[in-house]
Amino acid sequence: MKKIVAFMAIALAAVSLASAKGIAVGVHGYLGEGWGSAYADTDSQPQKPFGENLYYGGGAYFSYGFKSALAIQPEVNFRVNNIGSKDSVTVFGNTTTTTNRWTYNSVDIPVLLTYQYKKFNLLIGPYISIPVSGLSYTRTTTLNGDSSTSSGTVVDTLSGVTFGATVGLEYAMRMGPGRLVVGGRYFHDFNPVKHETTDSSGNKSTTNYFYRGAAEVTVGFQMAF
């Protein structure tokens, strides 16, 4: 049985290599704005001051092309996630404005199918997002021009894995030995970022926080082989 499995693996690898169009590796960074982020309890979209809904990070990827315009592109990206809101309430002519920002870090691993047309690349595919930090907050309250800020930790760790999908369009231009790649992407979570706890009796409880959604600009460098 082991010999059959080994033979099948070798045959599959041989077919894949025979159909390969090209291999590329690259690095990229990205900067984006929360667009479509929603609180899990109400599913309402937060208002979006840029600084409170800033997404940024970077990572590396590997592209495996076939003898067509198609390629598979797995990536490993580190992302700083900021989800924020801004609310104003006026009472007896006095306006109180509260700006909230929740922040945590994640490692996002998309597996993208890409389609190349001339120098353009269309990307689409699923991802998993793994939280690698706790959830912290910053809250600024302004009343009649006077502001006060507080910050702290909501939870020390976030639980589980978030699933989602990414779609984007990139443009590659020759630069030295490789290519400069610029483009835009949008990603959105299918399930919320959450925190799970278990009490002394073994009872589990889950707090759902929010779904992420963001449009990002990407810039990177790629080497083809």
Round to whole Å and give the CA distance between 91 and 223.
60
Q: Using a cut of 0.85, tell me whether the model's pTM lies above it.
A: no
| Domain coordinates in residue numbering, the chain | 20-224
First to last CA, the chain: 36
Round to whole Å and give the CA distance between 9 and 25.
24
Q: Which residue has the tokens 């909501």?
A: 154
Round to whole Å and give the CA distance between 178 and 18.
24
Strand, coil or helix: 166: strand
Cα distances from 85 to residues 50, 54, 63, in angstroms, run: 10, 12, 37
Identity of the amino acid at 202: G
Give me the tens of pLDDT residue by residue for the chain, a chain 225 residues long.
444 434 444 434 444 444 456 899 999 999 999 988 888 887 677 766 777 899 999 999 999 998 789 999 999 999 999 998 888 888 887 888 888 899 999 999 999 999 999 899 999 999 999 999 999 999 999 988 788 999 999 999 999 899 999 999 999 999 999 999 999 999 999 999 999 988 778 788 899 999 999 999 999 999 988
Round to whole Å and give the CA distance between 9 and 205.
43
Q: Does domain 20-224 have CATH number 3.40.50.970?
A: no
